[in-house]
């Protein structure tokens, strides 16, 4: 369950990280960087969510 939660968090975080700067028209470079940050946040959020489910 932990790996699935991290995968889903990474996917959602990366997508949101890409869509947000793209919405504002910031260009490919910023979309790429912020998508990476969103993916890292998604890993952390998915991991925390999985820990809550295991309690």
- pTM of the entire structure? 0.90
4-49 pLDDT tens trace = 999 999 999 999 999 999 999 999 999 999 999 999 999 999 999 9
pLDDT at 11: 98
* The length of the chain, given as a count of residues: 55
């Amino acid at each position: 369950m932990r790996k699935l939660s991290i995968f889903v968090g990474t996917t959602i975080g990366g997508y949101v990280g890409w869509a947000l700067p793209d919405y504002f028209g910031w260009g490919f470079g910023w979309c790429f960087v912020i998508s990476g940050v969103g993916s890292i946040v998604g890993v952390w959020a998915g991991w925390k969510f999985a820990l809550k489910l295991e309690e």
